[in-house]
């Protein structure tokens, strides 16, 4: 038997969603449902072994080639991604990047110095730069909604699913930046050196997508 591909999978919601997808595609995913203490989980049915990781680490592992494949959100790709192939939109984990401001605030019409808080300073910075807007980006790690409440920022750039958290904190979305969903990414060299196995896994994911 050929050596399995190694897949870096974002822990949490994307993890369960991917397993659902692989099951629909016809693979047995029980080894990952009962994880125990192992760190590398073989999924022989899918031709992969799975490493669970935090989202930015998924990208790091795939870029460095210690993992051949990765499943990670488009948000993380936009913020951290550089060189890998992004071959499939897995469609789950769907949400969007949005700019939200304090209710009643005229964010675009002011000459004041504006500050924007975000967990995604690159995404936010690129979006404002593309519009020729000079704003100061402040990186926040936790609940970004807090920054405008505390008076640290005039607006936030964050991932929005329903908008309920925003509303609860007196914020309103004023611009959509881009849609976000989970993606299958492939290491540059793995795509060339392990082509048949990579294509088999892509086909399995496609089969799962068609079932849903």
- Residue 182: strand pairing partners: 73
Q: How far apart are CA 71 and CA 89, in angstroms?
A: 10
* 23 versus 85: smaller Cβ distance to other proteins: 85
187 near other proteins (CB under 8 A): yes
Using CB under 8 A, pick the residue from 21, 117, 159, 186 that binds other proteins: 186
Q: How far is the CB of 8 from other proteins (least distance, A)?
A: 12
Give, in degrees to the nearest 5, the angle at Cα 105 between 99 and 107: 50
* 89 versus 105: smaller Cβ distance to other proteins: 89
191 near other proteins (CB under 8 A): yes
Under a CB-based contact definition with an 8 Å cutoff, are residues 9 and 73 in contact?
no
Using CB under 8 A as the criterion, what x/- string covers residues 53-92 for binding other proteins?
A: -------x--xxxx---------------xxxxxxxx---
Q: How far apart are CA 23 and CA 167, in angstroms?
A: 37
Site for other proteins in 29-58 (CB under 8 A): none
Counting DSSP H helices and E strands in the chain, the numbers are: 9, 11
Token representation of residue 43 = 């999924």
Q: Residues in contact with other proteins, total (CB under 8 A)?
A: 22
Q: How far is the CB of 138 from other proteins (least distance, A)?
A: 20
Under a CB-based contact definition with an 8 Å cutoff, are residues 141 and 79 in contact?
no
* 81 versus 148: smaller Cβ distance to other proteins: 81
Q: How far apart are CA 80 and CA 123, in angstroms?
A: 9
Q: For 81, which DSSP code?
A: -
Site for other proteins in 88-107 (CB under 8 A): 88-89
Residues in touch with other proteins (CB under 8 A):
60, 63-66, 82-89, 186-193, 195
């Amino acid at each position: 038997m050929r050596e399995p591909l190694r897949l870096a999978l974002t822990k949490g919601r994307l993890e369960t969603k991917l397993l659902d997808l692989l099951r629909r595609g016809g693979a047995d995913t029980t080894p990952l449902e009962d994880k125990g203490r192992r760190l590398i989980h073989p999924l022989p049915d899918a031709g992969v072994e799975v490493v669970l990781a935090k989202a930015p680490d998924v990208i790091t592992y795939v870029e460095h080639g210690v993992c051949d494949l990765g499943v990670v959100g488009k948000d993380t790709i936009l913020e951290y991604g550089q060189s890998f192939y992004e071959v499939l939109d897995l469609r789950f984990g769907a949400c969007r990047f949005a700019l939200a401001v304090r209710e009643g605030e005229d964010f675009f019409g002011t000459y004041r110095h504006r500050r924007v808080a975000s967990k995604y300073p690159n995404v936010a910075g690129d979006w404002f730069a593309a519009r020729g807007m000079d704003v100061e980006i402040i990186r926040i790690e936790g609940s970004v909604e807090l920054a405008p409440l505390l008076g640290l920022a005039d607006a936030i750039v964050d991932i929005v699913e329903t908008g309920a958290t925003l509303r609860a904190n007196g914020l309103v979305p004023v611009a959509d930046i881009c849609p976000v969903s989970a993606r299958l990414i492939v290491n540059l060299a793995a795509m060339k050196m392990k082509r048949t196995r990579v294509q088999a896994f892509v086909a399995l994911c496609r089969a799962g997508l068609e079932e849903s």
